[in-house]
Amino acid sequence: MIRTLEELVSMAQKHPPVRVAVAAAAHSLVLQSIRRATEIGIVEPLLVGREIDVRREAEAIGWDLNGAQLVLADTGAATAATAVELVKRGKAEVLMKGYLHTDEMLRAILNQQAGLRTDRLLTHVFVLEVPTYHKLLMISDAAININPQIAEKAAIAQNAIDLARRLGVEIPKVAALSSVETVNPSIPSTVHAACLSKMAQRGQIKGAIVDGPLAFDNAISAEAASDKGIDSPVSGDVDVVVVPDLDAGNILSKNLEYLAQAKMAGIVMGASAPVVLTSRSDPPKARVYSLALAGLLCRLGGCTDRLPIAAVG
């Protein structure tokens, strides 16, 4: 089982680099991360954008674009569509959002004809290395699904479970979070959490132990759970937390990053290829970790064939 994000990078380096199509690559933070990931041998980048912009930003950080290939497209939605097309046609194996809005990237991914849709719900998983926790912690969904209901939360949980298992967690422990530990019809997230727990018991969510509702303290700390008289099979050893909604997940993950010095990676599950969907403010290190995660998933689970790049208009 992988316990640190640096270990994740080391494992990715044991495999051939993956081809990554980067939409809207013309930004210094994006190019710094791609340069680093290229130098350590985990990616072969296809930088999508206006050539003059990409070269200007690369020159500003002192990169001669060695090891990278430019794919020309206008800014914004056109770069997203072109990057998605590269993946769909098998010219790239991983899709990465550069310096553009998430909704533009998702629109291209979810395009009915040209996108990367599957029969699974598109969900985002943060993978965090928190200094005060004994293993990697996954949070979902904090980036895509705004106010998921029970069926969507079951899909969110399953995608995160599948990710955890592919990273070596034999039977992931999942906490369905709320603000309290008892079912209260006035707090819908408690009802959702209880349903997720029962769905796992009945085999509707597979491959994990799921318990809820649990408040965050009772999920992370066995002592806190014991103090409240909670007997939970996941308390103190949770691998995945399923949050009530996007707001809760976003606040929780950024709290851990900025106040608890957590390192983090992020990945989108449910598309036909791994998708790195970083925030425009994410530092290069987080982006490199995310690329390592995507590359490792690709190598562990299979990706599109590594084919020569054809010209894309």
DSSP string, 69-83: EEEE--STHHHHHHH
Q: What are the tokens at 115?
A: 């996108």
pLDDT of residue 233: 97
Whether residues 152 and 172 share a domain: the answer is yes
Task: Verify that 19 and 48 share a domain, yes or no.
Answer: yes
How does strand 69-72 pair with strand 173-177? unpaired
**How many whole angstroms separate alpha carbon 25 and alpha carbon 50?**
9
Please report, for the domain that includes residue 89, its CATH number.
Answer: 3.40.50.10950
Q: What is the mean pLDDT of each run of 10 residues along the chain (313 residues)?
A: 93 96 96 96 97 96 94 92 97 95 94 93 97 97 96 98 95 97 97 98 97 97 96 97 98 96 96 91 90 93 44 30
User: Helix or strand or coil: residue 147?
Assistant: coil
Q: What are phi and psi of 177, to 5 degrees?
A: -90, 150
Decide if 264 contacts 286 (C-beta within 8 A).
yes
Q: Are residues 133 and 97 in the same domain?
A: no
Q: How does 27-37 read in b/e, with b if 16+ C-beta sit within 10 Å?
A: bebbbbbbbbb
Cα 80 to chain center, whole Å? Answer: 18
Please state, in angstroms and rounded to a whole number, the distance separating the CA atoms of residues 302 and 271: 13
> In this predicted structure, what is the pLDDT of residue 303?
58
- CATH number at 173 reads 3.40.718.10
Nearby residues of 269 by Cβ (< 8 Å), 6 or more positions away: 120, 122, 123, 124, 125, 159, 160, 162, 163
Distance CA 255, CA 133 (A): 14
Domain containing 72 equals 5-118+271-301
- Residue 221 is which amino acid? S
- Please give the order of strands across the beta sheet that includes 18-23: 69-72, 43-49, 18-23, 94-97, 275-276, 263-269, 123-129, 137-140, 240-242, 173-177, 209-214
pLDDT at site 280? 74
> Do 130 and 259 have their domain in common?
yes
- 43 lies in the same domain as 142: no
CB neighbourhood size of 1 (10 A): 11
Number of domains observed in the structure of the chain: 2
Identify whether 313 is part of a domain: no
Residue 308 inside a domain? The answer is no
Is 286 inside a domain boundary?
A: yes
The β-bridge partners of 276 are: 96
Per-position DSSP letters for 86-134, written without gaps between them: HHHTTS-SEEEE-SS-HHHHHHHHT-TTTS---SSPPEEEEEEE-TTSS
Same domain for 110 and 136, yes or no, is no
- Whole-angstrom distance, CA of residue 48 vs CA of residue 83: 7
Name, in order, each residue with C-beta under 8 angstroms of 126's C-beta and a sequence gap of 6 or more: 138, 139, 140, 142, 143, 249, 253, 264, 265, 266
Write phi, then psi, for 286 (nearest 5 degrees): -65, -35
Would you say residue 105 lies in a domain?
yes
d(CA 99, CA 97): 7
Position 308 scores a pLDDT of 35
Residue 312, pLDDT score: 32
